[in-house]
Amino acid sequence: MDLREQRGMELAATRTIQQKAGLWIVPSQVGNGSYRVHLMPKIASCTCPDHETRRMDCKHIYAARFVMRREQNADGTTTVTESVTLTATKQTTYPQNWSAYNEAQTNEQDKFQSLLRDLCSGLVSAPSKSGRPRLPLSDAVFNVAFKVYSTVSQRRFMSDLREAHRRGYISKVPHFNSISNYLEKPELTAILQSFITQTSLPLKSVESDFAVDSSGFTTCRFTRWFDHKYGQVREQHDWVKFHLMVGVKTNVVTAVEIHGRHTNDSIVLPALAKSTAQNFQIAEISADKGYASKSNAETISALGATPFISFASHHRGNGGGTWEKMYHYFQFRRSEFLQHYHKRSNVESAFSMMKRKFGDSLRSKTDVAMVNETLCKILCHNLVVLIHEMCELGIDPVFWPSQTV
């Protein structure tokens, strides 16, 4: 007996439930009004929000059924006949491979530097024309990504850089201010985005289902505005909004888009899906109702995938095509639809992993540097995921097998 059935039994035992004009009037359990229940031979309906949202039996339907099964005896006593089905619930557990987990955790920083060095080796620096020799581009990208991974200040980070130099990962140890200077360079943005793609490729044989959503990192800057409604000045932290496509098995990021913080989520999905489809065979994409649109459904379908996007209450599935098919799937096979849709929660897990490990705020102060620092956090997340899958699956990632950036 589930929770709604138990509450229905309580309603039938403690409240007055009457039948009027073929409908059962069931009082609300919290005492605010009542709901009309229509019991039919095979199906039932109720006017409560729970039933209208889930399209499944609510506690009011159960209560009406319990009352309908009562038999009034001659002596005035009431006999209640209850049909109770006992279902054994098997709890599914997902055992942790502790040996692989321990290996990944205890060797993560060493493997992170090694993978980052291999990733940066694909960069080719432009020759210096005159003046002081510039820091090699591979060193610059290694330094900024490793700095974000460390989560410490630039001055405290110098000890880690000296150790990386002793290991041969960088050609020389730069001044601590050089790290923030390189984050200011716009050309670093395209390089970091290509690195995020490269770090996802070793898992292309593992991932086929993907989820999309957006999140943000707060900054040290404030935005102020005058609220005309309340006649006062308001302020809040500025933030960088980013949109991700994530594999639901490993939480690896396959595509990223960064636009203005007020950018609508829905219009970003096609770019993320098409970018992921260039390297992965997509079976399905799940997203919340903020991405529900006919164009998004058709875009995903054109890539050979199935869209599992939740529908809002005002949607009716009009327009035909994939949009209409998925709406009817959502309405009439909802439990099966939700099994696919709930894979979307994995993108929330990816956000949590990034923010808990690398912080939920940015240290940079300019727009370009904030975007690059955000991309560095995502890149570090992908490398950490890759390290864990190396220990779990035994993969040996190879970057830039036949090309250079």
CA distance 344 to 247: 10
Cβ neighbourhood burial of 375 (10 Å; 0-12, 13-18, 19+): buried
CA distance 308 to 302: 14
The phi and psi torsions of 90 (rounded to 5 degrees) equal -95, 120
Same domain, 219 and 352: yes
Residue located via tokens 């130099």: 165
Where do runs of H (alpha helix) occur along 185-308? Answer: 187-200, 269-277, 294-302
Degrees, nearest 5: CA angle 110-115-119: 150
Token digits of residue 108: 């993560």
CA distance 325 to 172: 59
CB-CB neighbours of 161 under 10 Å: 23
In a domain, 98, yes or no: no
Sequence-ordered list of residues with C-beta below 8 angstroms from that of 221, at least 6 positions apart, any chain = 237, 238, 365
Helices 367-393 and 187-200, axial angle in degrees (round to 10)? 20
**C-alpha pair distances (Å), 361 with each of 153, 280, 365, 371:** 13, 31, 11, 12
Token digits of residue 255: 């595509």
- Provide the b/e sequence for 347-358 (b: ≥16 CB within 10 Å): beebbeebbeeb
Cβ–Cβ under 8 Å, residues 54 and 64: no
Q: Could you give the count of Cα atoms lying within 13 Å of 327 in the half-sphere of its Cβ?
A: 19
For residue 81, the one-letter residue type is T
CB-CB neighbours of 345 under 10 Å: 12
Cβ–Cβ under 8 Å, residues 384 and 173: no
Number of domains present in the structure of the chain: 2
Q: What is the pLDDT of residues 329-347, one digit of tens each?
A: 998 888 899 999 999 999 9
CA distance 90 to 252: 30
Output the pLDDT for position 69: 77
The phi and psi torsions of 358 (rounded to 5 degrees) equal -115, 10
Residue located via tokens 């690896």: 252
Same domain, 49 and 136: no
Same domain, 195 and 257: yes
Same domain, 355 and 265: yes
In a domain, 88, yes or no: no
Output the pLDDT for position 343: 93
Same domain, 118 and 69: no
In a domain, 240, yes or no: yes
- Provide DSSP, 286-326: EE-GGG--HHHHHHHHHTT-EEEEPPPTT---TT-HHHHHH
Cβ–Cβ under 8 Å, residues 67 and 81: no
Regions of the chain with pLDDT less than 70: 1, 70-94, 125-133, 222, 401-405
Output the pLDDT for position 87: 58
In terms of residue numbers, what domain contains 10? 3-80
Same domain, 195 and 315: yes
Output the pLDDT for position 65: 86
Same domain, 136 and 13: no
In a domain, 181, yes or no: yes
Residue located via tokens 């009439």: 332
Cβ neighbourhood burial of 367 (10 Å; 0-12, 13-18, 19+): middle
Cβ–Cβ under 8 Å, residues 23 and 38: yes
CA distance 346 to 356: 15
Same domain, 188 and 314: yes
Same domain, 120 and 243: yes
Q: Alpha-carbon torsion 183, 187, 193, 199, what sign?
A: negative
Sequence-ordered list of residues with C-beta below 8 angstroms from that of 397, at least 6 positions apart, any chain = 115, 118, 199, 202, 386, 390
Same domain, 9 and 124: no
Same domain, 57 and 122: no
In a domain, 140, yes or no: yes
Output the pLDDT for position 283: 95
Output the pLDDT for position 79: 53
Same domain, 76 and 109: no
In a domain, 99, yes or no: no
